[in-house]
Amino acid sequence: MPNLYEFSAHKPNGELVDFSTLQGKTVLIVNTATKCGFAPQFEGLEALHQQYKEKGLVVLGFPCDQFAHQEPVSDSDMTEFCKVNHGVTFPLMEKIKVNGKDAHPLYVWLKEQAPGKLGGTIKWNFTKFLVEKDGKTVHRYAPTDVPSSLAPKIEEVL
Question: Measuring CA to CA, which residue among 27, 147, 31 is closest to residue 93?
Answer: 31
Q: Catalytic site residue 36?
A: yes
d(CA 123, CA 129): 13
**How many Cα atoms are found within 13 Å in the side-chain-facing hemisphere of 68?**
11
Question: Residue 84: in which H helix or E strand, if any?
Answer: helix 75-86
CA distance 112 to 135: 14
Rg (CA), the chain: 14
Choose the catalytic residue: 36, 45, 60, 82.
Answer: 36
**Host H or E run for residue 96:** none
Question: Active-site positions?
Answer: 36
